[in-house]
A = this chain, B = another copy of it.
Amino acid sequence: MTHTITAMLDTHPGEPVADKQALAECIDACLRCAQTCTACADACLSEDMVADLRACIRLNADCADICSTTASVLSRQTGGDATVVTAIVQACAAACRACGDECGTHAEMHEHCRVCAEACRACEEACNRLLAALA
């Protein structure tokens, strides 16, 4: 996916809002994390022990919504507001941390939570790298 994201950054008539590689990696990580969280919420819902996975399902849903919105905001380079961009990336890092922590607690029991915890960690790190590049 990073290849297509970079192609779109390269062909944009304007300047990217941050280092192109940090930007492309963060968009890619957000989309990946959003998909993984949506799938993990649904997999948790199908588990016999769904009643023990309520917090995981909730955090997955929030994280998916926030990652998806962050990917959209970061895909735009025209006339944005730096405060808004920073605030949504910070919210995304917070969502990925909370969801990754929760998924991590039952990663040994549910393989989908293990994969999801990894996607959350990767996205949290990509957000933090982008925040450093935006500063």
Contact = CB atoms under 8 A, between A and B. Distances in A.
Interface in A44-72: 45-48, 50-51, 54-55, 57-59, 61-66, 68-69, 71-72
B91 A62 contact: no
Interface of A is mostly: helix
What copy number does this chain have within its complex? 4
A83 B69 contact: no
A91 B98 contact: no
Contacts of A69: 65-66, 68-69
The CB with the most chain B CB atoms within 10 A, among A5, A46, A91, is that of A91
A39 interface: yes
A7 to B, nearest CB: 5
Interface in A76-102: 76-81, 83-84, 87-88, 90-91, 94-95, 98
Contacts of A54: 45-46, 50, 78-79
Interface string A25-50: 00110011001101111110111101
A19 interface: no
Contacts of A68: 68-69
B59 A81 contact: yes
